[in-house]
């Protein structure tokens, strides 16, 4: 069959690119994510210019609005065994990273027309939280909603995570939220018309110390009480689940076969499209510049495309929430922490569950496309917004991964990137009302697991907002708790 | 594809379990092509036939399994006696691949995001099928031997890329008593002067001046700024294996040219369609002629030299198709390729001519020669601004006429800044070196 192929690595045709443009993906980052072009072996070397020309021809976009996608290191595929040979000084904190500048809020891509002058709810942040909330509000009949996103959809942490979803948590409330989320993910394609490729391959936790093993045992007991089938396995039994693992240094495993992974990007598009179909406005490349506060309330949200008068505003900016809230004089206790991640060449499926070493924060899974996608926290990572990629991470991750699966030493890394965890003092979210500003609502602080919690949290938040339901979620995790000191700590954080 | 003249000693490799003669040290891709093996693997989604295109590790068309390691570039892996090569992603065989039916089921492309979404059983089936069809190679057979230790190099000036621009800069720096460290991806210096068709007025590659430290087979993979300060991540590959180089330089000149680009036309991805650089490189370095009756398509400084080189080596180009705007070079036909013909190897090309009208010419290879797409990735990672140039159809970095970027210590010259002639690259390299010396 005759095809005009632009990206031969991922078999993306000229028609695929045109189709994505016609579906509203008008910037190269979004076209890359929708079509998959540039995500394969060559990382766009052969095809990027040709896609840029197609975009310019199709939309008449001025040259200044045709921006390349962020080139991810490494420039050529490189084996993990080589990367692991890079020396790392683990006594000093990580520093810097590339690329230094992320082109968020690019003026060239900002739409010319003004934002709506008035609406009922403004949601700041077009990540998974904000879009899931918009979708749920619209479903309950509240369609006067404007979602503001500074970049393209997927520019923030929602587009940067590994797509893991699990019920193995350390507190009952998180177990329940995750379980509901997974239920909703199963219904997602039917509801929104977009596949998110949920694959329930399980999560296999590995513990290397007795202290961590004890945490796994205690949480497994909790899971079982909630009807989640987590089993405690010996390292040998763990190897029955993933035969390639060496289990080096591992004392105990916990395994829940119903956990899984999804593909993050379509999740955002699905929520956005579903909300938009019901009348919600999703405004990308639009930056919030301030709030009009008078009479003890938020009267309007100021943006670089004009002012939107509103009845309620929701801060759902993930790790960027503190800087947004600050514009209204509100201090949030959240702090961003960089977490790095990488993706390898695609392999035929061999790895079923997501594997994680809770002690070191190493995690890896095999995506539906066959890549090994994984990350690892850095104990010395300082707080602060930094989405740079480091050589240190490549080296630490490669060593940790190949210790568990030595054969992956031959596997080549195709790209690395980073995203911010939105960390709170007790590893639990910030939800509910803002003291002193009753119509500003908070929806952030999910410490790197917001993606999997969003469907359930947004469902409850929409009901709580519109029907003033008595939902304890929004008092239990409100901002007040940091004043009263009533904190319960979540201990099953990966990274 | 045929050999011209003598080559290295013959060895035997194993391809799909069968012995195949090959020449020691040549890329595995050459051995397969000469043996008439045109389809190396099948593509990831539609299982379309794949064979080498760029011969420069800038695409993925030549990936095969070599010695138990998946997804290796056949264009970059030197042949050794007893090397085992296997195809990938084809069932039951590359000639009869049942999954190539996907190519027929989706004639224009596919939107896997909405396909069967929400259709209860179909959705589940699709997810299972997609999972099993995804990916290219199988897990490696074994763990690699421990890597050689990384090497840290601290220098005043590093020049990345020993093509016309990089060598000219090196010459100026060496003459001024400041010979740089030169990192070159290929096994020889010269870049286009050594690998592309010789351009008018160029008499082969310049030499590396005395005093300069040269690392061949060394690709720069990243430019990081971390605990070590600004550092180049490079990998040097030689017969003993690969090792990581970490290079710290006060000034770095990037002269790495660009990547092979593509033009959208039907079947532009079938085996037998090569980048112009690949065709010239196969002739000059490997002494292999891609076809006796090729078609040369494209525009830019390589179009006529490539046609001339093919003629000089005994080929009779059927057509030299000029796709660029502006003046049509003598001896060419002005037009746009619309379709390559053939399934496992190209045997014809259709093209459109103004005003309206399509013609078809038979051939036994297509060389697609376009100005390269500047390899701006490392500059962008350093913080240099990148802009789209509609008149060139590519992105270019923001670099002044002296090779200076907005980032201190980062310089650029040659095709990387603006695709042009080799002579222009030499001038740009010299200016950048003088700029560095003035600092």
Across the interface, do A193 and B43 touch by the CB < 8 Å criterion?
Answer: no
Same domain (yes/no): B313, B240 = no
Q: What integer pLDDT is reported at residue B439 of this predicted model? A: 76
User: And the tokens for B178?
Assistant: 């400041």
**DSSP 8-state code for residue A159:** G
Which one of B327, B351, B369 terminates a domain?
B369
A280 cis-preceded (ω within 30 degrees of 0)? no
CATH code 3.30.70.890 for A107-160+265-334+427-484: no
Task: Tell me, yes or no, whether B140 lies in a domain.
Answer: no
Of B384, B175, B89, B403, which is closest to residue A11 (Cα–Cα)? Answer: B89
Q: Are A394 and A318 in contact (CB under 8 A)?
A: no
B9 touches chain A (CB under 8 A): no
What is the spatial distance between Cα B360 and Cα B349, in angstroms, rounded to a whole number? Answer: 6
Matching residue, tokens 């036994």: B364
Angle at A379 between CA A373 and CA A381, to 5 degrees: 85
A302 forms beta bridges with A290, A307
Across the interface, do A392 and B142 touch by the CB < 8 Å criterion?
Answer: no
Q: What is the DSSP string of B23-50?
A: ETTSBHHHHHHHTT----EE-TTT--EE
- Judged on CB neighbours under 10 Å (0-12, 13-18, 19+), A466 is middle
User: And the tokens for B187?
Assistant: 């096994």
User: And the tokens for A490?
Assistant: 């979540």
Same domain (yes/no): B339, B291 = yes
Count other C-beta atoms under 10 Å from residue B39's C-beta: 21
Q: What integer pLDDT is reported at residue A100 of this predicted model? A: 67
Task: Tell me, yes or no, whether B146 lies in a domain.
Answer: no
> What confidence category does residue A64 fall into, taking pLDDT thresholds of 50, 70 and 90?
confident
Across the interface, do B222 and A15 touch by the CB < 8 Å criterion?
Answer: no
Q: In terms of DSSP bridges, do strands B336-341 and A306-309 run parallel, antiparallel, or are they unpaired? A: unpaired
Which one of B350, B369, B388 terminates a domain?
B369
Of A384, A412, A388, A387, which is closest to residue A398 (Cα–Cα)? Answer: A412
Strand runs (DSSP E) across B202-283, as ranges?
213-215, 218-226, 229-238, 241-254, 258-259, 273-275
Measured between beta carbons, which residues in chain B are less than 8 angstroms from residue A15? Answer: 108-109
Task: Tell me, yes or no, whether B314 lies in a domain.
Answer: yes
Across the interface, do A6 and B389 touch by the CB < 8 Å criterion?
Answer: no
Across the interface, do A349 and B132 touch by the CB < 8 Å criterion?
Answer: yes
Same domain (yes/no): B48, B156 = no
Segment holding B180, helix H or strand E: none
Same domain (yes/no): B164, B247 = yes
A73 touches chain B (CB under 8 A): yes
Which three-class secondary structure string do you get for A439-461?
A: EEEEEECCCCCHHHHHHHHHHHH
What is the strand order of the sheet B273-275 is part of?
B273-275, B365-369, B294-298, B319-322, B333-334
Q: What integer pLDDT is reported at residue A103 of this predicted model? A: 56
Matching residue, tokens 């495993």: A253
CATH code 3.30.479.30 for A5-69: no
What is the spatial distance between Cα B317 and Cα B366, in angstroms, rounded to a whole number? Answer: 10
Task: Tell me, yes or no, whether B265 lies in a domain.
Answer: no
Task: Tell me, yes or no, whether B196 lies in a domain.
Answer: yes
Q: In terms of DSSP bridges, do strands B336-341 and B348-352 run parallel, antiparallel, or are they unpaired? A: antiparallel
What is the spatial distance between Cα B141 and Cα B240, in angstroms, rounded to a whole number? Answer: 20
Segment holding B359, helix H or strand E: strand B358-362
Same domain (yes/no): B15, B117 = yes
Region class of A481: left (phi > 0), else alpha (psi between -120 and 50), else beta = alpha
B377 touches chain A (CB under 8 A): yes
Same domain (yes/no): B278, B336 = yes
ipTM of the complex: 0.95
The mean pLDDT of A62-69, rounded to a whole number, is: 90
Same domain (yes/no): B356, B220 = no
The mean pLDDT of A270-295, rounded to a whole number, is: 96
Across the interface, do A75 and B220 touch by the CB < 8 Å criterion?
Answer: yes
Across the interface, do B150 and A86 touch by the CB < 8 Å criterion?
Answer: yes
A489 or A130, higher pLDDT? A130
B379 touches chain A (CB under 8 A): no
What is the spatial distance between Cα A194 and Cα A215, in angstroms, rounded to a whole number? Answer: 37
Strand runs (DSSP E) across A157-210, as ranges?
164-165, 203-207
A29 touches chain B (CB under 8 A): no
Q: What integer pLDDT is reported at residue A101 of this predicted model? A: 64
- The domain total for chain B is 3
Q: What integer pLDDT is reported at residue A106 of this predicted model? A: 60
What is the spatial distance between Cα B254 and Cα B277, in angstroms, rounded to a whole number? Answer: 20
* CB < 8 Å from A in window 13-42 of B: none
Same domain (yes/no): B247, B199 = yes
Same domain (yes/no): B58, B186 = no
Q: What integer pLDDT is reported at residue A102 of this predicted model? A: 57
Counting as low any pLDDT under 50, the low residues of chain B are none
Domain that holds residue B47: 2-133
pLDDT, tens only, B25-63? 999 999 999 999 999 999 999 999 999 999 999 999 999
Measured between beta carbons, which residues in chain B are less than 8 angstroms from residue A75? Answer: 219-222, 375, 377-378
| pLDDT exceeds 60 at position A105 | no
Cβ-Cβ contacts under 8 Å for A91 (sequence gap 6 or more): none
Of A162, A164, A353, A163, which is closest to residue A243 (Cα–Cα)? Answer: A353
* CB < 8 Å from B in window 201-240 of A: none
Same domain (yes/no): B248, B392 = yes
Same domain (yes/no): B254, B310 = no
What is the spatial distance between Cα A395 and Cα B181, in angstroms, rounded to a whole number? Answer: 25
Across the interface, do A46 and B259 touch by the CB < 8 Å criterion?
Answer: yes
Same domain (yes/no): B95, B236 = no
Q: The domain spanning residue B67 has which CATH number?
A: 3.10.20.440
Measured between beta carbons, which residues in chain B are less than 8 angstroms from residue A66? Answer: 388, 390
Across the interface, do B44 and A349 touch by the CB < 8 Å criterion?
Answer: no
- Domain ranges across chain A: 5-69, 107-160+265-334+427-484
Task: Tell me, yes or no, whether B288 lies in a domain.
Answer: yes
Whole-model pTM?
0.96
Q: What integer pLDDT is reported at residue A486 of this predicted model? A: 76
Q: The domain spanning residue B321 has which CATH number?
A: 3.50.50.60
């Amino acid at each position: 069959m005759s095809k005009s192929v632009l990206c031969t690595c991922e078999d993306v045709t000229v028609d695929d690119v045109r189709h994505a443009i016609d579906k509203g993906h008008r910037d190269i980052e979004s076209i890359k994510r929708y079509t998959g072009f540039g995500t394969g072996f060559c990382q766009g070397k052969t095809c990027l210019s040709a896609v840029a020309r197609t975009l310019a021809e199709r939309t008449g976009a001025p040259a200044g609005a045709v921006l390349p996608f962020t080139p991810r290191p490494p420039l050529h595929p490189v084996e993990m065994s080589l990367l692991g040979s890079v020396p790392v000084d683990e006594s000093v904190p990580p520093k810097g990273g590339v690329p230094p500048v992320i082109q968020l809020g690019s003026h060239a891509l900002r739409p010319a027309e003004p934002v709506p002058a008035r609406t009922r709810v403004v949601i700041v942040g077009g990540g998974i939280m904000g879009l899931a909330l918009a979708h749920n509000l619209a479903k309950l009949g509240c369609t006067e909603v404007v979602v503001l996103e500074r970049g393209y959809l997927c520019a923030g942490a929602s587009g940067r995570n590994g797509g893991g979803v699990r019920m193995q948590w350390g507190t009952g409330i998180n177990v329940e939220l995750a379980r509901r989320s997974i239920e909703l993910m199963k219904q997602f394609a039917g509801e929104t018309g977009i596949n998110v490729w949920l694959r329930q391959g399980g999560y296999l936790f590995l513990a290397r110390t007795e202290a961590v093993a004890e945490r796994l045992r205690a949480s497994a007991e909790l899971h079982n009480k909630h009807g989640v089938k987590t089993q405690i396995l010996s390292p040998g039994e763990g190897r029955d689940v993933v035969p390639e693992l060496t289990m080096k240094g591992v004392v105990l495993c916990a395994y829940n076969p119903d956990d899984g992974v999804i593909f993050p990007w379509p999740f955002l598009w699905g929520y956005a499209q579903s909300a938009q179909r019901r009348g919600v406005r999703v405004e990308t490349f639009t930056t919030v510049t301030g709030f009009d506060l008078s009479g003890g309330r938020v009267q309007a949200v100021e943006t670089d495309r004009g002012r939107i008068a509103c009845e309620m505003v929701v801060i759902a900016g993930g790790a960027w929430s503190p800087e947004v809230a600050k514009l209204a004089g509100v201090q949030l206790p959240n702090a961003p922490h960089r977490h790095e991640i990488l993706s390898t060449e695609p392999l035929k499926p061999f790895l079923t569950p997501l594997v994680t070493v809770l002690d070191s924060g190493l995690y890896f899974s095999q995506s539906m496309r066959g890549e090994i996608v994984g990350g690892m926290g850095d104990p010395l990572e300082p707080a602060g917004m930094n989405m740079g990629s480091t050589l240190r991470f490549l080296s630490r991750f490669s060593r940790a991964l190949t210790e568990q699966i030595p054969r992956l030493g031959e596997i080549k890394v195709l790209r690395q990137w980073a995203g911010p965890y939105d960390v709170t003092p007790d590893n639990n979210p910030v939800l509910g009302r803002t003291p002193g500003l009753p119509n500003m609502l908070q929806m952030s602080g999910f410490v790197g697991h917001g993606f999997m919690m969003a469907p359930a949290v947004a469902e409850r938040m929409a009901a709580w907002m519109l029907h003033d339901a008595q939902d304890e979620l929004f008092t239990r995790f409100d901002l007040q708790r940091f004043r009263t000191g009533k904190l319960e700590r979540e201990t099953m954080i990966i990274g | 594809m045929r050999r011209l003249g003598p080559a290295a000693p013959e060895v035997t490799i194993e391809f799909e379990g069968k012995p195949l003669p090959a020449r020691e040290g040549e890329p595995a891709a050459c051995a397969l092509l000469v043996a008439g093996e045109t389809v190396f693997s099948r593509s990831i989604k539609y299982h379309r036939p794949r064979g080498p295109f760029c011969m420069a590790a800038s695409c993925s068309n030549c990936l095969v399994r070599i010695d138990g390691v998946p997804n290796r570039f056949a264009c970059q892996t030197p042949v050794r006696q007893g090397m085992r090569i296997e195809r990938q992603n084809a069932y039951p065989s590359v000639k009869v691949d049942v999954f190539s039916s996907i190519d027929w089921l989706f004639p224009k492309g596919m939107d896997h995001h909405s396909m069967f979404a929400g259709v209860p059983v179909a959705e589940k089936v699709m997810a299972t099928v997609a999972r099993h069809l995804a990916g290219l190679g199988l897990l490696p057979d074994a763990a690699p031997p421990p890597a050689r230790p990384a090497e840290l190099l601290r220098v005043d000036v590093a020049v990345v890329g020993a093509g016309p621009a990089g060598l000219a800069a090196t010459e100026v720096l060496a003459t001024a008593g400041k010979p740089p460290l030169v990192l070159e991806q290929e096994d020889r210096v010269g870049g286009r002067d050594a690998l592309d068709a010789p351009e008018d007025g160029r008499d082969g590659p310049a030499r590396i001046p005395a005093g300069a430290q040269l690392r061949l087979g060394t690709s720069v993979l990243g430019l990081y700024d971390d605990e070590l300060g600004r550092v180049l991540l490079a990998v040097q590959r030689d017969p003993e294996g690969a090792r990581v180089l970490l290079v710290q330089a006060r000034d770095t000149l990037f002269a790495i040219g660009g990547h092979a680009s593509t033009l959208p036309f039907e079947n532009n991805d079938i085996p037998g369609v090569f980048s112009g650089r690949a065709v010239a490189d196969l002739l000059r370095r490997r002494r292999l002629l891609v076809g006796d009756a090729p078609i040369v398509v494209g525009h830019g400084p390589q179009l006529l030299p490539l046609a001339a080189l093919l003629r000089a080596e005994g080929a009779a180009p059927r057509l030299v198709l000029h796709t660029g705007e502006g003046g049509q070079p003598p001896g060419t036909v002005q037009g746009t390729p619309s379709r390559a013909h053939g399934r496992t190897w190209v045997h014809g090309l259709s093209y459109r001519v103004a005003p309206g009208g399509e013609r078809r010419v038979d051939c036994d290879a297509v060389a697609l020669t376009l100005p390269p797409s500047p390899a701006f990735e490392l500059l962008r990672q350093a913080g240099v601004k990148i802009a789209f140039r509609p008149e060139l159809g590519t992105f270019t970095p923001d670099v002044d006429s002296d090779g200076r970027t907005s980032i201190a210590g980062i310089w650029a010259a040659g095709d990387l800044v603006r695709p042009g002639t080799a002579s222009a690259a030499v001038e740009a390299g010299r200016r950048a070196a003088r700029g560095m010396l003035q600092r």
